[in-house]
C-alpha cells in the first residue's frame, strides 16, 4: 500500500462533468498509478478536515502517472468535492490502493456489466480481461442517453458492447439484466459475469445468471471507515461467513451475497447523513450571503472563523 501524502497534496489535472451529479477527476499520483490493479479503491480526503471517502480507481495510466476517479455527488462530502475539486487544486489525501485486485487473467469469455456510476469501476476490469486475451462483452446501463459516459472507452476494449437505457433513448430499451439475457442467449460458453452498480442491480444480475450456473462477481460498497480491516464497519454476509469488504473484497461471489443485509446496513446512518448535508448546505448558503469584501478578508479574517459544523457527525 502506498502511504503517500506529500504536503502539496495530489493535483487534479483534469475534470469532466458527465451530468449535474457525476464528475471525473484525473489525479497526478505516479506511485498510485504504478501500484493500482483493476478492482481496487482509494480513500480520499479532499481537505485536511474532510471525511474519508472510499472511491474506486476507475482508470490508471502508468505512463502519465495518473489515476481517474468518477464520483457521484450523493451527500455532504461528495457534493463538497463537486464544488471544490477543480482543475489545479489538490486532494489533501489519497491512500491506497486498497482491496483485493480482481483476477483478470485466465478467462476466455467474460461479460462486464456496469450500471449507472458502476460503469466507471468496471472499466479497468474490462480492459484487464482484454489485455489478458479474453473475449469481452460489455453491458452498460443508464437511465437515459443524456447520462451515458465512457462508451468510447468500452468500445475500444470490448469485442461486443450492449448499451441499455431504461427509457430506450439509446441502445436497447431495458435494464442491464436484460442485456445479460441477450449475451447468454448468444453465447453458451461464458466463463464469468462481473457486475458493478447499485446493490439492487447487482442482486438482479446475480439472479439472472444463477439458473445458468455462470460464476458472477459483484463489487460491494458497504460503509467503510478505516479501510484496513480494523473497524468492522464494512461487514458483509457472504454465504455463512462474515467478511470485511475492505480487505476480503470488495469483489465477492454474487450468488452468495446477502444483499438484504447490505442494503439495510447502507441505510444505517441515513439520519446523520441528512443532518450533515443540511448543515453543510446551510453553511454554503451563509457563505453566499457574505459580501465579497468580507470573504476576501478585508474586514478581518475573524468574521469568517465559523466552527466546522461537521466535526461531531459520524459518517457525514
Ligand atoms: C469500496 C468503495 C468504492 C466506492 N467507489 C465509489 C466511486 O467510485 N464513486 C462514487 O461516487 N462512490 C463510490 N463509493 C461510495 C462513496 O464512498 C459514498 O458515496 C460516499 O462516501 C458518500 O459520502 P457523502 O458524505 O457524500 O454522502 P453521505 O450522505 O455521507 O452518504 C450517502 C450514502 O453513501 C454511502 N456512504 C456514506 N459514507 C460512506 C463510506 N464511508 N463508505 C461507503 N459508503 C458510504 C451510504 O450508503 C450513504 O447512505 C464507494 C464506496 C466504497 C465502499
Ligand atoms: S472499513 Fe473498517 S474493517 Fe473495513
Phi/psi of residue 53, nearest 5 degrees = -115, 115
- Please tell me which residue, 306 or 58, carries the higher pLDDT value: 58
**196-240 confidence digits (pLDDT tens):** 999 999 999 999 999 999 999 999 999 999 999 999 999 999 999
pLDDT at 109 over 60: yes
pLDDT at 243 over 50: yes
Nearest CA-CA partner of 180 in 199, 168, 162, 200: 162
pLDDT at 304 over 50: no
> In angstroms, what is the span from residue 111 Cα to ligand 1's centroid?
25
Gap between the Cα atoms of 124 and 139, Å rounded: 14
> In angstroms, what is the span from residue 222 Cα to ligand 1's centroid?
8
Name the band, by pLDDT with cuts 50, 70 and 90, for residue 265: confident
> How do strand 192-196 and strand 109-115 relate by DSSP bridges?
parallel
pLDDT at 290 over 90: no
- Cell representation of residue 162: 450492449
**7-50 confidence digits (pLDDT tens):** 468 999 999 999 999 999 999 999 999 999 999 999 999 999 89
pLDDT of 8: 66
pLDDT at 4 over 50: no
Residue 98 near residue 227 (C-beta atoms within 8 A): yes
pLDDT at 161 over 90: yes
Name the band, by pLDDT with cuts 50, 70 and 90, for residue 72: very high
> How do strand 235-238 and strand 241-244 relate by DSSP bridges?
antiparallel
The pTM assigned to this predicted structure is: 0.87
Range from 68-77, 201-210, 291-300 carrying the lowest mean pLDDT: 291-300
Q: Which atom of ligand 2 is nearest to the CA of 224?
A: 1
> In angstroms, what is the span from residue 74 Cα to ligand 2's centroid?
21
pLDDT at 154 over 50: yes
| Protein residue with its CA nearest to atom 2 in ligand 2 | 231
Mean pLDDT, the chain, whole residue set = 88
Mean pLDDT of 136-141: 98
pLDDT of 313: 34
pLDDT of 71: 96
The percent of residues above 90 in pLDDT, for the chain, comes to 76
pLDDT of 287: 67
Mean pLDDT of 140-149: 94
Nearest CA-CA partner of 222 in 278, 264, 166: 264
Provide CB contacts within 8 A for 282, sequence distance 6+: none
> In angstroms, what is the span from residue 52 Cα to ligand 2's centroid?
12
Per-residue HEC secondary structure of the chain comes to: CECCCCCCCEEEEEEEECCCCEEEEEEECHHHHHHCCCCCEEEEECCCCCCCEEEECCEEECCCCEEEEEEECCCHHHHHHHHHCCCCCEECEEEEEECCCCCCCCCCEEEEEEEHHHHHHHHHHHHHHHHCCCEEEEEEEECCHHHCCCHHHHHHHCCEEEEEECCCCCCEECCHHHHHHHHHHHCCCCCEEEEECCHHHHHHHHHHHHHHCCEEEEECCCCCCCCCCCCCCCEEEECCEEEEHHHHCCEEECCCECHHHHHHHHCCCHHHHHHHHHHHHHHHHHHHHCCHHHHCCCCCHHHHCCCCCCCCCCCC
pLDDT at 311 over 80: no
Pocket lined around ligand 2, Cβ cut-off 6 Å = 224-227, 229-234, 244, 246
Mean pLDDT of 166-175: 94
Q: Is 50 in the pocket of ligand 1 (CB under 6 A)?
A: no
Amino acid at each position: 500500500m502506498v502511504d503517500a501524502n506529500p504536503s502539496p497534496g495530489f493535483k487534479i489535472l483534469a475534470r469532466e462533468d458527465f451530468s449535474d451529479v457525476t464528475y471525473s477527476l484525473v489525479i497526478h499520483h505516479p506511485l498510485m498509478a504504478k501500484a493500482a490493479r483493476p478492482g481496487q479503491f482509494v480513500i480520499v480526503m479532499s481537505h485536511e478536515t474532510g471525511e474519508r471517502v472510499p472511491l474506486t480507481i476507475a482508470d490508471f495510466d502508468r505512463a502519465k502517472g495518473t489515476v481517474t476517479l468518477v464520483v457521484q455527488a450523493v451527500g455532504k462530502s461528495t457534493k463538497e468535492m463537486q464544488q471544490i475539486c477543480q482543475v489545479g487544486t489538490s486532494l489533501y489525501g489519497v491512500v491506497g490502493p486498497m482491496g483485493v485486485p480482481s483476477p483478470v487473467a485466465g478467462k476466455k469469455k467474460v461479460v462486464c456489466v456496469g450500471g449507472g456510476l458502476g460503469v466507471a469501476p468496471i472499466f479497468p476490469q474490462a480492459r484487464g480481461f482484454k489485455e489478458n486475451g479474453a473475449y469481452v462483452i460489455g453491458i452498460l446501463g443508464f437511465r437515459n442517453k443524456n447520462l451515458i459516459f465512457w462508451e468510447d472507452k468500452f468500445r475500444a476494449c470490448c469485442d461486443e458492447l450492449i448499451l441499455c437505457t431504461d427509457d430506450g433513448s439509446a441502445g436497447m430499451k431495458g435494464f442491464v439484466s436484460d442485456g445479460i439475457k441477450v449475451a447468454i442467449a448468444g453465447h453458451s460458453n461464458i466463463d464469468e459475469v462481473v457486475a458493478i452498480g447499485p446493490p439492487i442491480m447487482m442482486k438482479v444480475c446475480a439472479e439472472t445468471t444463477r439458473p445458468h450456473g455462470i460464476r458472477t462477481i459483484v463489487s460491494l460498497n458497504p460503509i467503510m471507515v478505516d479501510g484496513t480491516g480494523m473497524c468492522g464497519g464494512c461487514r458483509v454476509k457472504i454465504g455463512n461467513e462474515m467478511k470485511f469488504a475492505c480487505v476480503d473484497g470488495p469483489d465477492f461471489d454474487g450468488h452468495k451475497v446477502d444483499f438484504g443485509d447490505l442494503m439495510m446496513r447502507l441505510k444505517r446512518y441515513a439520519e446523520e447523513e441528512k443532518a450533515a448535508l443540511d448543515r453543510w448546505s446551510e453553511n454554503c448558503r451563509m457563505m453566499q450571503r457574505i459580501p465579497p469584501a468580507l470573504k476576501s478578508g478585508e474586514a478581518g479574517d475573524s468574521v469568517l472563523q465559523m466552527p466546522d459544523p461537521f466535526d461531531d457527525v459520524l459518517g457525514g
